[in-house]
């Protein structure tokens, strides 16, 4: 497992204008929640760094941070890949299974040294993947079960708390949080958070 935490992990420092040497240019101040310009989050395009960060070797699974995994991740690790980037759609790459070796020595694939100062946004990178026919969109939706609309937990293997104002853990001080439209989503989050905290102090 490798964390790509914006501003905390080496190689994943961020800055608005890219003036900090080696930082990712995100085109808006860091630490904001969906400011409607620049990157959506401080880590939006980090998923594109996965192949090179993995040394262009093997298979990798990318996940956002606002998720709760209920299924067996081995299912993702062993899923057949028809093409090198598997997700539920070309627009929802929040959970991706990636054939890292495929991208080695591809002249159209951006390097980390190019990406960091470029300021390029995730949609631009998705367009590169689409243009080069890289998307396998057969990942079952239960592996990216999003709360952008009311949903039952039934059948979900990964819960994605993607609606920022409804997130039960309130990560952004500037956001006016609201009650989640599905109480069961909050209950299961609280359950696993309490179990995790207890395990840390055991």
* Secondary structure element (H or E) that encloses residue 99, with its range: strand 95-99
Whole-number pLDDT of residue 179: 94
Q: How confident is the model over 49-83, as pLDDT tens digits?
A: 999 999 999 999 999 999 999 999 999 999 999 99
Q: How confident is the model over 121-180, as pLDDT tens digits?
A: 999 999 999 999 999 999 999 999 999 888 899 999 999 999 999 999 998 888 999 999
CA dist., res. 63 & res. 84, Å (int): 16
Please state the pTM of the whole predicted model: 0.94
What tokens does 66 get? Answer: 């606002």
C-alpha of 90 from chain center: 13
């Amino acid at each position: 497992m490798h964390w790509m935490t914006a501003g905390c992990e080496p190689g994943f420092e961020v800055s608005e204008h890219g003036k900090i040497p080696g930082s990712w240019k995100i085109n808006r101040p860091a630490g904001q929640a969906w400011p409607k310009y620049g990157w959506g989050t401080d880590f939006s395009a980090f998923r594109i760094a996965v192949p090179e960060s993995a040394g262009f070797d093997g298979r990798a699974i990318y996940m956002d941070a606002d998720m709760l995994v209920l299924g067996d991740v081995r299912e993702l690790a062993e899923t057949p890949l028809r093409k090198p980037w598997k997700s539920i759609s070309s627009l929802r790459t929040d959970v991706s299974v990636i054939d890292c070796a495929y991208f080695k020595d591809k002249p159209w694939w951006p390097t980390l040294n190019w990406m960091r100062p470029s300021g390029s946004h995730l949609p631009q990178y998705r367009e590169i993947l689409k243009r080069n026919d890289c998307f396998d969109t057969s990942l079952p939706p239960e592996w990216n079960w999003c709360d952008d609309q009311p949903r039952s937990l039934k059948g979900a293997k990964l819960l994605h708390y993607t609606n920022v104002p409804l997130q039960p853990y309130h990560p952004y001080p500037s956001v006016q949080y609201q009650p989640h439209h599905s109480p069961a989503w909050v209950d299961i989050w609280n359950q696993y958070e309490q179990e995790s905290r207890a395990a840390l102090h055991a």
